[in-house]
Structure 1
Amino acid sequence: MASSDHLLDLIQSRPDIYGLLRASFGFDIERKEYGAGLGLASGAPLEPIAGDFTGGAYFLCTEQGGRRPVVFASSEGEGGLIADDLAGALEIIVGLQWRDCLGFSGGGDVEVMLASAQHLERYLARDSPEIAEARARVAAALSLRVLPVPDLVIRLQEAASRTEPHYVVVTDDGDVYDPPFGEFSEPQLGGWR
């Protein structure tokens, strides 16, 4: 398993991979400023490592058992744990439309997340047929595993379920971010078509 620093260095040294991560997967290592003013309710520090085009931020947490867990905080005030280390987080980020999967999770129900992921993947394959090639290129360049979507959904659900109490995101002013799971099981207008 590659260390977080090694993976971040690899991304920085490969403009093609950096470009794919930024454009296709919303992981931009040049947008670290998006995480300013955020921490964990436990008082543990967060290290911003990337942002996405919506204003969300990815953070590394303090090392635990040789790993540095990864937390995401959205610009809409939701946040939580997404993986136990950066390699695991990147596998989820690259292999799954993870934010929408959490958003349409029925409050964290893994079966609802699996159904949402199937719909999301179908739409993605239709609208972005090049996504499979982009996923394979990033995975090969960073020595990531290419896992089936159901496995990624289960890993994401398990990590996000462990957000409380240690990975709750807070602002400098003490405002607490909402948990990562959305209450809806499908889009409100029209459902999954």
Structure 2
Amino acid sequence: MAPSDHLLELIQSKPDIRGLLRASFDFDIARKESGNGLRLSSGAQLEPIAGDFTGGSYFLCAEDGGRRAVVFADSEGSGGLIAHDLSSALEKIVGLGWRDCLGFSGGGDLEVMQASAQHVERYLARDNPEIAKQRTRVTAALSLRNFPVPDLVIRLHAAVSRTEPDYVVTTDDGGVYDPLFGKYAEPRLGGWR
């Protein structure tokens, strides 16, 4: 059994962890219906494994050297590589407000991403005082590694930077998804408060 299959089965077998992933980390393995007609620029098919509340989808790519990379595609037409295996993807998903970190990355500037990550962490702790405990619970249950936020940002930046040329998300009709790096450095209405 591939490591990604084992990890997905482990999530499925633990309803409390599955619920935390869905409610606190927006990774819902019951939402696999999205992503029809998407593939990689290489022509490789994508296997949907989870979705989020906004219509985004997580996909496993074809196996490469025993590992299956993870690609994310949102409902707004952005997509790309987030990790070279499911464990690494989940470490970022659980340990970091990764979507906002990318969304406010100044076009992929690592320093801007680090600053955004610190703001996002402050908001997460304010909005969900249990987030640290929930992260610990999920990482322990799934045997994931804990990394400090700055290290997760570096790992996320490195993965997304390797989207081209092999992990660009395309549509059956020839459309190409935008990169996951957002162009803004902070929210446009009022900045980080």
Deviations 1:106-144 (A, max 9, x none): 000100000000000011111110111111110000000
SS in 2 for 1:167: coil
CA distance in 1, matches of 2:35, 2:48: 6
Give RMSD over aligned pairs: 0.8
Q: Which amino acid aligns with 1:130?
A: E
Relative to structure 2, which stretch is displaced further, 58-67 or 108-117? 58-67
Q: State yes or no: 1:175 paired with 2:175.
A: yes
Q: How does 1:48-67 map to 2 (within 5 A)?
A: 48-67=48-67
Residue equivalent to 2:15: 15
Letter in 2 for 1:162: R
Task: Report the secondary structure of 1:36's partner residue.
Answer: coil
Shift, 1:67, TM fit: 0.7
Corresponding residue for residue 138 of structure 1: 138
**Paired amino acid for 1:15:** P
Please give the residue correspondences for 1:57-96 in structure 2 after superposition, counting only pairs within 5 Å: 57-96=57-96
Alpha-carbon deviation of 1:146?
1.1
Cross-structure match for 2:158: 158
Misfit runs of 4+, over 3 Å = none
- Residues 37-46 or 80-89, more deviating: 37-46
Q: Could you list the per-position Cα deviations for residues 36-77 of structure 1 after superposition, in whole angstroms to 9, with x for gaps in the alignment?
A: 111111101111100001000000001112110000000000
- Structure 1: runs of 5 or more not aligned: none
Q: Secondary structure at the match of 1:48?
A: strand
Count of aligned positions: 192
Post-superposition offset of 1:102: 0.4
Identical positions, percent: 78
Distance in 1 of aligned mates of 2:102 and 2:7 = 25
Other-structure match for 1:149: 149
What 5-or-longer segments of structure 2 have no aligned partner?
Answer: none
Please say if 1:126 is aligned against 2:120: no
Distance between the aligned counterparts of 2:27 and 2:127, measured in 1?
20
